[in-house]
Amino acid sequence: MRVGLIGLGTVGAALARQLIDGQEFLKHQTGGNPLTLAAVSARSQKPRPGLDLTGVPFVADPLAIARDPQIDLVVELVGGHDGIAKQVVEAALQAGKLVVTANKALLAHHGSDLLALASQQGKILAFEAAVAGAIPVIKVLHEGLAANRLHRVVGILNGTCNYLLTQMQAGAGSFDSVLAAAQQAGYAEADPSTDIDGHDSAHKLAILSALAFGHPMALQAVACCGIRAVTAQDITYAAELGYHIKLLAIAERGDDGLVRQRVQPCLLPRQHPLAGVDNVTNAVQLKANLAGQILLEGPGAGGDATASAVLADLVDIAVGRRQPISVASTQPSAVVADKPLEKLAGRCYWRLQVVDQPGVLAAVAAVLARHQISIESLLQRPSQANDLPDNRPDTQAFPNGNVPVVLVTHQALEPALQAAADELAKLPQLHQPPLRLRIEDNLA
């Protein structure tokens, strides 16, 4: 099988190295069908450390590889949901080629159309590496659990966020300082917004949910909130209450049959298996009618780890093990809720930065009561200099000080909780809008 590789970055270079150095082993794994790196493309033809591409043609135009009749399979490792990545995948499928990609953004935005195109062409579009790096979760959902009805998918799908939250939990500093350290260490991008605002997790969740429940990709129906507002103090308060804070990606089918998808920082009981998944590790918990609970855990990113998943697709295709994946028709009954939070109920953690003066708690309680939300417990701590998130206005504006009040509220519906949060944000005694995080006690 002649492979054309587009992209020689972190993952592409690791893949090329394996295709060259591991050629004999891979030939054995494919039962004698060699995987030959026949052409590569990237933005520039610069040397890649530790990668000797002697004898492998460099093609400046990626589309020329996608259309080259000598190429059987195109691997797209560029990234981005539009632009050259999309053009390459479409052109390769239109030219009747097999395609492997690790591009979650592309799949989340255009996966249904691209998989339909692959199916029309009678070709395979494989994407094991697009979700959770080395963890073979696509294969487990598509093959291992093929006879199951899925109830729920819960994932820690973004290594950067999990690293930041773990570091804050370990006392390494404030959000901004652990982010700066993560950028230094290569665990966070220079522009971390796709990760820390939850979009990367949302892309992966959209893919997993479509596969698990059999609906078309529905990225627009993922409620998405990142971790920017979570402070080291929140992590400490959550720990006092018996919880860890994790950015969870959750898709579940409700009693009404609708699938609800959401990405949110949540409080997870510390004994939950996902609560102990730390640093850049990813994990996915699947709940299915026959199999019960399955937990998959492993490296969610990195050159070799991601190349492992790309190579698994290549080997599967080379030995004829891989069947085309269709996300719209596997279990046609699934419908996605457009407003995933609308009917969601739950307990919540609230942190309010309030002026330290009489009557504040009464004002807060009155707002909550107006929305039928009752307080389960309250935690008040003396004011501390580092109570505020970094780069927020300091306590100078509040001559009476700035005190964190932490509340836990009983079960309430999300629209009421949001309305109360909006109203609380307008109270003059609040230093900043309240932080509200869902408490996920029922994910066992």
Ligand X SMILES: NC(=O)c1ccc[n+]([C@@H]2O[C@H](COP(=O)([O-])OP(=O)(O)OC[C@H]3O[C@@H](n4cnc5c(N)ncnc54)[C@H](OP(=O)(O)O)[C@@H]3O)[C@@H](O)[C@H]2O)c1
Q: Which residues are catalytic?
A: 204
* # of chain residues touching ligand X (CB under 6 A): 24
User: What distance lies between CA 434 and its chain's CA centroid?
Assistant: 25
- Please count the other Cβ atoms lying within 10 Å of the Cβ belonging to residue 240: 10
| Residue 157 beta carbon to ligand X: minimum distance, rounded to whole angstroms | 10
Question: 129 or 274, CB closer to ligand X?
Answer: 129
| Of the candidate residues 3, 4, 12, 353, the single one contacting ligand X (CB under 6 A) | 12
> Per CB under 6 A, which region of 299-307, 338-346, 412-420, 436-444 contacts ligand X?
299-307
Shortest spacing between CB 153 and ligand X, in angstroms: 18
Alpha carbon distance 391, 299 (integer Å): 32
Decide: 187 and 179 in contact? Cβ < 8 Å: no
Asked if residue 4 binds ligand X (CB under 6 A), the reply is: no
Give the three-state DSSP class for 299.
Answer: strand
Stretch of 3-11, 120-128, 204-212, 249-257 contacting ligand X, by CB under 6 A: 3-11
**How far from chain centre, in Å, is Cα 232?**
22
Site for ligand X in 331-350 (CB under 6 A): none
x-or-dash string of contact with ligand X, 401-440, rule CB under 6 A: ----------------------------------------
DSSP state of 142: I
Closest Cα to residue 249, out of 383, 139, 158, 346? 158
Nearer to ligand X, 49 or 122 (CB): 49
Range in contact with ligand X (rule: CB under 6 A) among 25-33, 71-79, 246-254, 434-442: 71-79
Residue 139 in contact with ligand X, rule: CB under 6 A: no
Alpha-carbon gap, residue 359 to 362, rounded angstroms? 5
Q: Which is nearer to ligand X, 107 or 221 (CB)?
A: 107
Write out the two tokens for 358. 């009489």
Residue position matching structure tokens 């005694």: 429
Distance CA 16, CA 36 (A): 10
42 binds ligand X (CB under 6 A): yes
Q: Which amino acid is at 401?
A: G
Distance CA 76, CA 125 (A): 11
Binding pattern to ligand X, positions 74-113, x when CB under 6 A?
---xxx----x-----------------xxx---------
C-alpha closest to that of 165 among 56, 39, 267: 267
Shortest distance (Å) from residue 340 CB to ligand X: 24
Among residues 43, 321, 370, 392, which is the contact residue for ligand X, using CB under 6 A?
43
Residue 258 in the binding site for ligand X (CB under 6 A): no
Per DSSP, what are the bridge partners of residue 4?
39, 74
Find all residues with CB under 8 Å of 356, minimum gap 6, and list them.
Answer: 383, 398, 400, 401, 402, 403
Does residue 7 bind ligand X (CB under 6 A)? yes
Give min distance, CB of 130 to ligand X, in A. Answer: 6
Shortest reach from residue 33's CB to ligand X, in Å: 25
Interacting residue with ligand X among 4, 111, 133, 340 (CB under 6 A): 133
DSSP assignments along 143-196, one per residue: IITTTPPEEEEEEE--HHHHHHHHHHHTT---HHHHHHHHHHHTSS-SS-HHHH
Element counts in the chain: helices (H) and strands (E): 14, 16
Contact call for residue 115 and ligand X (CB under 6 A): no
Residue 196 or 430 with smaller CB distance to ligand X: 196
Rounded to a whole number of angstroms, the minimum distance from the CB of residue 324 to ligand X is: 21
- For residue 212, the Cα-to-chain-centroid distance in whole angstroms is 15
Chain positions 199 to 228 lying near ligand X, rule: CB under 6 A, are none
Binding site for ligand X (CB under 6 A): 6-12, 41-44, 62, 77-79, 84, 102-104, 129, 133, 301-302, 306
